[in-house]
């Protein structure tokens, strides 16, 4: 066992009692901070394992990295958003459900893609236009329902879930050119890396979000701000860690496919399942601000997708736009 694997396993084991003590002492700043740091470590290291495993699986199955990014990676990195929004909906916190899902989509594009493009200009798959158009369509449909009905109800949730099924079928039927890549690991080891990486991502996100929210509550921050910032960024950290890791490894298909796939998943499945549990009703001020920036970010991504690349300058533009969103949210 390599030292990296041993360290990861040790931190995972220690994280359970540390998390338990945090839950018993939610006003202890030191415990909250320690859990916050442990959560970040598990997210970053877990994403590294996950990207290695997913890329190796793609090579074994002769599936393009872009498709792997849209499906397996997007699903795993979106599990924290789904858990948070569904639990929030169950306990009657619609603004947390909405703020988490929509705030994560905004963070995925503005923060995650922005940082990734600054690290290294991103070359995009030929299917990126199609996927960006799909994302724009489902985002538009979501905002249409919300502004017309002022809520997301159970039948809208069913519509979203059905659309996601159609989208997966479309991905399955694609004929993509796959670069011949020699698998870095055996299929069994690739699956093990992927599973343990996903577990690290989800568990790390859970610790991180709980500690961040507890820290925020100590300062009396409103629910929508917590949801769209601390929780949204916390649940987007798997995407951030995975996308940056994939970018550094020059796996651009996974890097960009992960973001688009995650945003489609968040819109159709995260919000869809939350709406099945309880209707998502929103206050006008929260709705207008988050919807405006979600639309802006999605359109920016669509425009860049038609050029099939995202430059460093465009990465800076994403980050600046995200910074403006946070500024408007706070003031």
Its pTM stands at 0.78
User: What CA–CA distances, in Å, run from 21 to 26, 28, 91, 219, 260?
Assistant: 9, 10, 24, 21, 37
Tokens standing for 11?
Answer: 């931190």
Rounded-to-integer distance, Cα 235 and Cα 131, Å: 22
Residue 55 has pLDDT above 60, yes or no: yes
Per-residue pLDDT tens for 174-212? 665 555 556 777 888 888 888 888 888 888 878 887 888
- Per-residue pLDDT, averaged over 258-283, amounts to 90
The packing angle between helices 232-248 and 94-107, to 10°, is 20
Local structure of residue 185 (DSSP, 8 states): S
Strand bridging mode 122-123 / 309-310: antiparallel
Give the pLDDT confidence score for residue 50 in this predicted structure. 81
d(CA 63, CA 47): 20
Q: Which two tokens stand for residue 220?
A: 């009396």
What's the pLDDT score for residue 231? Answer: 81
Helix 29-61, helix 252-265: angle, nearest 10 = 110
Distance CA 60, CA 213 (A): 41
Do residues 66 and 127 touch, judged by C-beta distance below 8 A? yes
CB 5 within 8 A of CB 196: no
Q: Could you tell me the CATH number of the domain that includes residue 248?
A: 1.20.1420.30
DSSP reduced 3-state for 179: coil
pLDDT for the residue 91: 81
Q: How many domains does the chain have?
A: 1
Mean pLDDT of 265-282: 92
- Longest Cα–Cα distance of the chain, Å, equals 57
Q: How far apart are CA 55 and CA 58, in angstroms?
A: 5
Domain of residue 171, residue span: 3-330
38-48 b/e (C-beta count within 10 Å ≥ 16 → b): bbbbbbbbbbb
What is the chain's mean pLDDT, rounded? Answer: 84
Q: Is the pLDDT of residue 119 over 80?
A: yes
């Amino acid at each position: 066992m390599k030292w990296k694997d041993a360290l990861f396993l040790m931190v995972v084991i220690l994280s359970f009692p540390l998390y338990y003590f945090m839950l018993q002492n939610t006003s202890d700043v030191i415990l909250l901070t320690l859990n916050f740091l442990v959560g970040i470590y598990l997210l970053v290291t877990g994403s590294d394992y996950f990207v290695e495993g997913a890329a190796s699986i793609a090579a074994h199955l002769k599936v393009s990295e872009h498709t792997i990014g849209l499906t397996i990676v997007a699903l795993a990195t979106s599990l924290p958003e789904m858990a948070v929004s569904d639990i929030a909906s169950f306990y009657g916190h619609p603004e947390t459900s909405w703020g988490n899902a929509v705030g994560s989509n905004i963070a995925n594009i503005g923060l995650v893609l922005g940082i990734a493009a600054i690290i290294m200009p991103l070359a995009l798959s030929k299917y990126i236009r199609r996927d960006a158009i799909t994302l724009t369509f489902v985002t538009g449909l979501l905002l249409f329902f919300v502004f017309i009905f002022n809520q997301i109800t159970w039948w809208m949730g069913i519509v979203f879930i059905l659309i996601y099924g159609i989208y997966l079928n479309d991905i399955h039927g694609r004929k993509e050119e796959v670069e011949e890549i020699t698998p870095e690991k055996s299929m069994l080891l690739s699956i093990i890396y992927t599973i343990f990486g996903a577990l690290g991502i989800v568990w790390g996100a859970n610790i991180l979000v709980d500690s961040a929210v507890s820290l925020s509550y100590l300062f009396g921050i409103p629910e929508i701000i917590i949801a769209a910032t601390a929780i949204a960024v916390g649940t987007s950290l798997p995407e951030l860690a995975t996308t940056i890791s994939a970018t550094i490894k020059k796996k651009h298909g996974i890097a960009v496919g992960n973001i688009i796939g995650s945003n489609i998943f968040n819109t159709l499945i995260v919000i869809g399942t939350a709406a099945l549990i309880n209707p998502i009703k929103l206050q006008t001020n929260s709705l207008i601000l988050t919807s405006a920036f979600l639309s802006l970010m999605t359109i920016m991504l669509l425009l860049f997708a038609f050029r099939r690349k995202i430059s460093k300058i465009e990465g800076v533009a994403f980050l600046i736009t995200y910074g403006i969103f946070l500024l408007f949210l706070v003031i």
